[in-house]
Amino acid sequence: MSSTDTLFKDLIVIEAANVLAGPAVGMFFAELGATVIKVENIRTGGDTTRQWKLPAEDEHSDVSAYFSSVNWGKRSIGVDFSIPAGYGVIVDLVRRADVFLQSFKPGDARKFGLDYPALRGKNDRLIYADITAFGEEDERPGFDAVLQAETGFMGMNGTEASGPVKMPVALIDLLLAHQLKEALLIALIERMQSGRGSYNTVSLFQSGVASLANQAANYLVAGSVPGRTGSDHPNIAPYGTVFTTRNGDPVVLAVGTDSQFEALCEVLGMPEAAADARFATNQQRVVHRDALNALLAQRMAELERDDLLDELRARRVPAGAVRNLDEVLAQDSVEPLLLQGKRTDGVPIRGLRTITFENDAVSPPSSLDAPPAFNADRRFVLADVLGYTEERILGLQKAGAVL
């Protein structure tokens, strides 16, 4: 047993959250050894992403690739919490829980009696996590593409020719997940001292805005509104710029200092470029970016990718291959992050851990159960966690509270 298993083995997290942000937080706790019970709404067929499938996926399975990305190591139970018997199941879980995580539409938590004031009365040690899109007073639902647009990320991403472009992952959801993980860990530490639970809320909008980092500072400090410059960096050159090598293989440069630029020019066999007044300093390279990129593109198109990267690495010039996902996941350094398991129907499935840190006092469990089918763990939750009798479980089924 790892030290993490010992530390988190008694932690119970109730996840009443859909899609990516909330479930990513739930999987974080599952990876650290907690019991994470995913409470899914019978009336909607469970987590929405169970049906978000690629054309090639099994149409009969309710464990889609998207759903599986953030639902390893969890237990699933379907509950109709809109009726008294189903609500009673949730309340019994809350009485035993440490964390209650929800991403209901605005107003629904209060409507179902699952808001913080209602649940705090059942368990004053409960740590409550409330995910919103634009804050408590804004009723707009939270969809990542909309949030990428509203927080400025799409406005900066792409080129003038392409127009605004969405990131290919649900970036704002993931940014919120990190914010909420931090909040909940702080809440757990505070509870150790005070013995009391707490209310924690995070919005997708503020999570996105708080992550604008240097781009926001460019405006707040220098009054510069970032434009769409493709992969180029507004403050550094050549940084983020993609060049095509002889066989059509793309590489990216991340040159951040004048000495790195000098080394780049030497590797490329064009040391005179480093002495050119237009390129002698980073600020001048930013001013003359177009001329610089044209010069570098012409030379790099004559070179083999791997040979070039080896030489750049030897001279400590930051550069990398632009890899497809199959290349990325085939690398040896990715192996420790890969998860292997079988779905409830016996079909093998693979996934990725979301925790990558190493700590000599805390290490994640060596394996995780595969993402659960909808309602796969009804008996575990009702009988093992809540201690319900068979007669009581049958009564709940007859009432339509559980399946």
Q: Residues 324-334: pLDDT tens digits?
A: 999 999 999 99
Q: Does the global pTM surpass 0.85?
A: yes
Question: Does residue 3 surpass a pLDDT of 90?
Answer: no
Q: What is the pLDDT of residue 2?
A: 47
Do residue 35 and residue 182 come from a single domain? yes
Q: Which of 47, 130, 173, 232 is catalytic?
A: 173
Do residue 10 and residue 138 come from a single domain? yes
Q: What is the pLDDT of residue 136?
A: 85
Q: What is the pLDDT of residue 359?
A: 79
Q: Are strands 338-342 and 348-352 parallel, antiparallel or unpaired?
A: antiparallel
Q: Are strands 239-244 and 99-102 parallel, antiparallel or unpaired?
A: unpaired
Alpha carbons 317 and 295: distance in angstroms, whole number: 18
Q: Quick check: is 326 in a domain?
A: no
Do residue 264 and residue 162 come from a single domain? no
Indicate the number of domains in the chain.
Answer: 2
* Tokens 């000098």, located at residue: 262
Do residue 266 and residue 175 come from a single domain? no
Least confident of 139-153, 172-186, 364-378: 364-378
pLDDT, tens digit (0-9, with 9 covering 90-100), for 186-218: 999 999 999 999 999 999 999 999 999 999 999
Task: Give the three-class secondary structure for 209.
Answer: helix
DSSP per-residue letters across 270-329: -THHHHSTTTSSHHHHHHTHHHHHHHHHHHHTTS-HHHHHHHHHHTT--EEE---HHHHH
Do residue 127 and residue 35 come from a single domain? yes
Do residue 305 and residue 346 come from a single domain? no
Question: Does residue 361 surpass a pLDDT of 80?
Answer: no
Q: What is the pLDDT of residue 137?
A: 85
Alpha carbons 178 and 35: distance in angstroms, whole number: 20
For residue 268, the enclosing domain spans 239-244+250-321
CATH code at position 270: 3.30.1540.10
Alpha-carbon torsion 113, 116, 117, 123, what sign?
A: positive
Give phi and psi for 352, each to the nearest 5.
-125, 140
Give phi and psi for 35, each to the nearest 5.
-85, 115
Nearest CA among 188, 182, 229 for reference residue 210:
182
Do residue 388 and residue 263 come from a single domain? no
Question: Does residue 62 surpass a pLDDT of 70?
Answer: yes
Q: What is the pLDDT of residue 357?
A: 85
Tokens linked to 275: 């002495």
Do residue 162 and residue 278 come from a single domain? no
Do residue 270 and residue 305 come from a single domain? yes
Give phi and psi for 128, each to the nearest 5.
-105, 130
Q: Cβ contacts of residue 331 below 8 Å, gap of 6+? A: none
One-letter identity of residue 275: A
Mean pLDDT of 180-186: 98
Q: Quick check: is 190 in a domain?
A: yes
Q: Cβ contacts of residue 82 below 8 Å, gap of 6+? A: 43, 112
Tokens linked to 10: 């008694």
CA distances from 24 to 58, 178, 220, 225 (A): 23, 9, 32, 32
Among 321, 347, 366, which residue terminates a domain? 321
Question: Does residue 20 surpass a pLDDT of 60?
Answer: yes
Do residue 93 and residue 33 come from a single domain? yes
Q: What is the pLDDT of residue 364?
A: 66
Alpha carbons 100 and 211: distance in angstroms, whole number: 26
Alpha carbons 172 and 151: distance in angstroms, whole number: 9
Tokens linked to 205: 């909008």
Question: Is 173 a residue of the active site?
Answer: yes
Do residue 182 and residue 71 come from a single domain? yes
pLDDT, tens digit (0-9, with 9 covering 90-100), for 271-302: 999 999 999 999 999 999 999 999 999 999 99
Q: Quick check: is 7 in a domain?
A: yes
Nearest CA among 177, 110, 113, 121 for reference residue 144:
177
| Cβ atoms of residues 58 and 51 within 8 Å | no
pLDDT, tens digit (0-9, with 9 covering 90-100), for 224-264: 998 898 899 989 999 999 999 999 999 999 999 999 999 99
pLDDT band at 338 (very low <50, low <70, confident <90, very high): very high
Mean pLDDT of 54-67: 94
Residues in the chain: 403
| Cβ atoms of residues 402 and 388 within 8 Å | no
Q: Quick check: is 339 in a domain?
A: yes
Q: What is the pLDDT of residue 363?
A: 66
Cα–chain-centroid distance for residue 374?
A: 22
